[in-house]
Amino acid sequence: MAKKFVLKANGIKPYHTGLAIPIFSLRSKKSFGIGQFSDLKILADFVYSSGMDVIQILPINDTTIFMDWRDSSPYRANSVFALHPIYLDFTDYLDKFKKSELKKILDEAKELNQLPQVDYERVSNFKWRLAKKVYSNYSKTIFENLSFKNFYQSRKFWIEPYACFCYFRDNYHTADFRLWKQNKYHEGLFEELSSDPEIFEDLKLHIMIQYLLHKQLKEAVDYCHKLGIAVKGDVSVGIDRKSVDAWTLPELFKLDKQAGAPPDIFSSSGQNWEYPTYNWKEMSKDGYSWWKARMRSMADYFDIYRLDHILGFFRIWENPENSVRALLGHFSPALAMTAEEIESYGIPLRYWGVERFIRPFIKDWVIDEIFGRDQRDEVIQRFLKYTGFGNYEFKEEFGDERKVKMAKGLEDYEREGLYRLHENVIFIPDHENPKLYHPRINLMDTISYREFGDAFKQQLEIIHNNYFYGRNYAYWQEKAEEILPVIKDASEMLACGEDLGMVPDNVPSVMWQLKILRLIIERMPTDSNFITDLKWTPYLSVVTTSSHDITPLSLWWQEDKNLIQRYYNEVMGLEGMAPKEANPSIIREILKRNLNTKAMLAIFPIQDWLDTQDDLRNPNASLTRINNPAYSYYYWRYRLHLDLEDLVDNQGFENFLSDFIKNSKRSTVGLTE
């Protein structure tokens, strides 16, 4: 058994280098159409020989909710404790299959493994067929094993509810527990279900699979540790509302709200992740025990973790239950405004009627601007009703964004236009107290705003900017300083935070005080500059060239020619026109400047490492993107186009990487300026 492996800041080796890749993206010669926990061992051999010492992965929890390709997102977990069955390697459990049966299995596995991308649904169905066979052949022996008994006893608190959840999900053909007869978990339910022998076998199947997953992941992590390689996991900011956690502990979540993010570079209309938001007040009553258990479970496997959207622990962007996009959300918690406060700016809120500010502002010219004059009469007839004085409101069947989304027979441009009408407001009523108000994010971009006189416009802009850039900062810091230390102190793992987006000024100082590493991406500046100046990268940070939410460097190079030209001339210091493609020398230069920062961790996506070589880069760069956050449901199916075994055998590439890293700041011993 490997020794306890802990990565510390300012340790004997102050700088670390690694690569990032989702488990599902790994490809080995023995894979079954998707990466598996056992593939981490082969990856570790490559990482070790290349002079790196960190492997970063995405969340690995079970995401089986829709039972189709939508479950491919690793951030939509049905349990914060259960591992995903799709990552189980069945190689060691095939010896009891008949020869004819085994041949069919291996043929199908080979076919799936040769696909350029993950076929999530086929792989999942294939693996569950194998899982049931393995259960029949091995369960009795496994359940008698002392290791299994210890595993089960220490995890009963989550594994029994998880097994019940899986049973009901599969039998009701939906994970939406509101549609189940047992729509709320209760103590003793596992025992009640177990009294039926047939159901008991189903429950034990899910428990056995979790044990085998744990065993394989632990073996892979221990192997990494023996090579001196740390493993970095990922803590998703939310849970799915159709999850075991929401089913068993609904009081810990605001199930009638939706978490997301305000408008950013990914989406001008913001992001609606559809996760429930946390009920922090309820969580605090038992000292955040759910969070502590979650982090201790993570520490079974990881040395480092990335806290997804750490801004959500200061405040979350909270959307109402009936919203589709995110422009009608507001920060929570946040100091909302009273009517009196708004009026103190000279805004006639109640004098003109609050509805003028909080309800969609719809007039003939507004309809014309969004849909075109030729469409006005049809839009009014189908979707609106006249309320007098030149104003319209929505018909009941289109009364919110969710209804618009569900309406049949609408063209995409019609839905888009109706969303814009719904979002044409100035203030958002507070979700808890509708007599308090929040400025609508980017209210200056609304058509409603343009109807006001210059004096009112100026005051509304002041209200907006004061609210979003200062008013809540101290309040949010107080909340973060209550929650984040609990999460951080729950384990010995090195804590990193993903602090991209609309970042309050005091977030970096809070993270520094708590020794939580920041995330630095050169092309995602947190100020008004067009690019992040890597010269100012702090030691307590992770620097990377790309992430799963943005394109690898080769695709980024083709997105904005004007920005790339400026980057080529001003940042890289090269003259003339920028090349149309990011050739290996350009990729190397970008990686080198990141390696030479003061950041404790430099972790780059494997796509960017491979693009340093002409003969190793994917000839079809479009297949290297992992996610596009502009879409609520995106198919996460990126896979390496090379077998890990071939990378391990490529001594020339490993030597290049080792020398490349040695000739950078990563090889220094001791901190230097």
DSSP percent split of the chain into helix, strand, coil, nearest 5 = 45, 10, 40
CA 271, 235, 60 angle in degrees (round to 5)?
100
For all residues of the chain together, what is the average pLDDT? Answer: 95
Is residue 368 situated within a structural domain? Answer: yes
Least confident of 25-39, 68-82, 344-358, 524-538: 524-538
By C-alpha distance, which of 16, 19, 15, 35 is closest to 27? 35
Kindly provide the residue ranges of all beta strands, DSSP E only, lying in 352-448, ordered along the sequence. Answer: 384-388, 391-394, 427-429, 437-439
User: Between the CA of residue 344 and those of 5, 399, 473, what are the distances in Å?
Assistant: 58, 32, 22
Q: By three-state DSSP, how is residue 261 classified?
A: strand
Number of Cβ within 10 Å of residue 653's Cβ equals: 21
CA 491, 217, 142 angle in degrees (round to 5)?
115
pLDDT(672) > 80: no
pLDDT tens-place string over residues 280-339: 999 999 999 999 999 999 999 999 999 999 999 999 999 999 999 999 999 999 999 999
pLDDT, average across residues 96-121: 94
pTM: 0.93
Residue with tokens 């998703």: 236
- Relative to beta strand 16-20, strand 54-56 is parallel
Is residue 447 situated within a structural domain? Answer: yes
CA 494, 227, 638 angle in degrees (round to 5)?
70
Distance separating alpha carbons of residues 217 and 542, to the nearest angstrom:
24
Q: What is the DSSP string of 176-209?
A: -GGGSSS-S--TTHHHHHHTSHHHHHHHHHHHHH
Write the CB contacts of 235 (distance below 8 Å, at least 6 apart in sequence): 59, 294, 295, 298, 305, 306, 307, 308
Q: How confident is the model at residue 665 (pLDDT cuts 50, 70, 90)?
A: confident
Is residue 36 situated within a structural domain? Answer: no
CA-derived radius of gyration, the chain: 27
H/E/C letters for each residue in 23-56? Answer: HHHCCCCCCCCCCCCCHHHHHHHHHHHCCCCEEE
Q: Which two tokens stand for residue 277?
A: 């938001």
pLDDT(394) > 50: yes
Number of domains in the chain: 1
Is residue 453 situated within a structural domain? Answer: yes
Q: Which residues pair with 230 in a beta bridge?
A: 54
Residue with tokens 């069955």: 85
Q: Tell me which H or E stretch contains 459.
A: helix 454-466
Query: What does the pLDDT read at residue 5?
Result: 67
Q: How confident is the model at residue 673 (pLDDT cuts 50, 70, 90)?
A: very low
10 Å CB burial of residue 486 (0-12, 13-18, 19+) is middle
Quick one: what percent of the chain has pLDDT higher than 90?
93
Query: What does the pLDDT read at residue 24?
Result: 98
By C-alpha distance, which of 266, 258, 242, 424 is closest to 332? 258
Whether the CB-CB separation of 17 and 661 falls below 8 Å is answered with yes
Q: Which two tokens stand for residue 493?
A: 């793992």
Is residue 243 situated within a structural domain? Answer: no
pLDDT tens-place string over residues 152-178: 999 999 999 999 999 999 999 999 999
By C-alpha distance, which of 73, 89, 74, 105 is closest to 30? 89
Distance separating alpha carbons of residues 215 and 491, to the nearest angstrom:
21
Number of Cβ within 10 Å of residue 469's Cβ equals: 12
Measured distance between the N- and C-terminal CA atoms of the chain, rounded to whole angstroms: 39
pLDDT tens-place string over residues 132-154: 999 999 999 999 999 999 999 99
Distance separating alpha carbons of residues 226 and 357, to the nearest angstrom:
62
Query: What does the pLDDT read at residue 4?
Result: 58
Query: What does the pLDDT read at residue 668?
Result: 55
Is residue 290 situated within a structural domain? Answer: no
pLDDT tens-place string over residues 347-384: 999 999 999 999 999 999 999 999 999 999 999 999 99
Number of Cβ within 10 Å of residue 61's Cβ equals: 22
8-state DSSP, 623: G
Whether the CB-CB separation of 27 and 33 falls below 8 Å is answered with no
Is residue 349 situated within a structural domain? Answer: yes
pLDDT, average across residues 534-560: 96
8-state DSSP, 518: E
By C-alpha distance, which of 428, 473, 239 is closest to 337? 428
Segments forming the whole domain that contains residue 442:
332-471
pLDDT tens-place string over residues 451-463: 999 999 999 999 9
Q: How confident is the model at residue 395 (pLDDT cuts 50, 70, 90)?
A: very high
Widest Cα–Cα separation across the chain: 83
Query: What does the pLDDT read at residue 1?
Result: 37
8-state DSSP, 469: I
By C-alpha distance, which of 323, 224, 343 is closest to 271? 323
pLDDT(669) > 80: no
Is residue 656 situated within a structural domain? Answer: no
> Which amino acid does the sequence have at 605?
P
Distance separating alpha carbons of residues 337 and 428, to the nearest angstrom:
10
